Amino acid sequence: MNLNETSLKISTTPIIAMASGKGGAGKTGMTLNLATLLTQQGLKVLVFDGDMGLGNVDVQLGMAPNKDLGHVIAGQATLEEVISKSERGFWVIPGRSGHEQLPFLTALEQRDILKELRNVAGAFDIVIIDVAAGVGKEVLTLVEYADRTLLVTTPDPSSITDAYAVAKLLKVRYNKATCEILVNNAGSEAEGRMTYEKIKTAADKFLGIDLPLVGIVPHDRQYAAAVKMQKIATQAFPNCDAVHALTTIAKKIAPKREKQAA
């Protein structure tokens, strides 16, 4: 991608991290569906695959990029050069690579890649980082770096506990309280609400922080079927329940357009 094609803005572009603590909560799927929906709203969206070890954003999009973050880490490309456009209309920094020798975080730090990402972000309306599972330093660094974090949790108690752990570590280590809760895979609206209340109450009581709810996405067989077809639900089943819920969430996270001067 050539950023000269687009007018570089002073980067006030929001960078949103999609994290969960526990694996399999739905981060990658939420990232790709929200990116698609935001693109459909006319926004220019960049997805950064922040799961270097097991990142599979490009695979799920059926992309075969010839350059990825591994090349950036190896000093063989700039971040800008590895950005490619997906068929869904948004842009991707692919994370999958066989080149990396250094741990991901050390590599990112050594090459100032996160600083570079801030600069690159100026050419987009919104950036979404698909963060790896876990609560390791790599995860926390990306969550701390982001302007907002959507913490994805399912009603599974261990998923709630792990999402809470991310919010807690962010608060305790970095004194940041920028997480919002996205309940995914809810069996019903009531189960989704109950899941949210559990994490909200704990954060309120033990951390003294407010964790707003960004939305509840139901368990949806069509959503799962789309993943198996290597498709995005928004594309394969645009009218399914999960996509309806995600549409509301996309509207909530879309950066507000500045009002035209009268």
Q: Please tell me whether residue 200 binds ligand ATP under the rule CB under 6 A.
A: no
Please, what is the minimum distance in Å from the beta carbon of residue 185 to ligand ATP?
Answer: 5
Q: Which of 13, 19, 21, 28 touches Mg ion (CB under 5 A)? A: 28
Helix, strand, coil percent content, the chain, rounded in steps of 5: 45, 15, 40
Should residue 25 be labelled a site residue for ligand ATP when binding is judged by CB under 6 A?
Answer: yes
- Helix extents (H) in 49-156: 57-60, 69-73, 104-110, 113-121, 137-145
Q: Is 185 in the site for Mg ion (CB under 5 A)?
A: no
- Quick one: 11 or 56, whose CB is closer to Mg ion? 56
Does 26 help bind ligand ATP (rule: CB under 6 A)? yes
Considering only residues 114-153, where is the footprint of ligand ATP by CB under 6 A? 133
**Burial state string for 6-15 with b = 16 or more CB within 10 A and e = fewer than 16:** eeeeebebbb
Half-sphere exposure of 246 (CA within 13 A, CB side): 32
Q: Helix (H, G, I), strand (E, B), or coil: what is residue 198?
A: helix
Site for Mg ion (CB under 5 A): how many residues? 2
Is 82 within 8 Å of 94 (Cβ atoms)?
Answer: yes
Residue nearest to Mg ion (CB): 28
13 binds Mg ion (CB under 5 A): no
Backbone angles phi, psi at 123, to 5 degrees: -90, 0
Of the candidate spans 101-109, 116-124, 197-205, 218-226, the one that interacts with ligand ATP by CB under 6 A turns out to be 218-226
Interface residues toward ligand ATP, by CB under 6 A: 20, 23-29, 51, 133, 184-185, 217, 219-220, 223-224, 227, 242
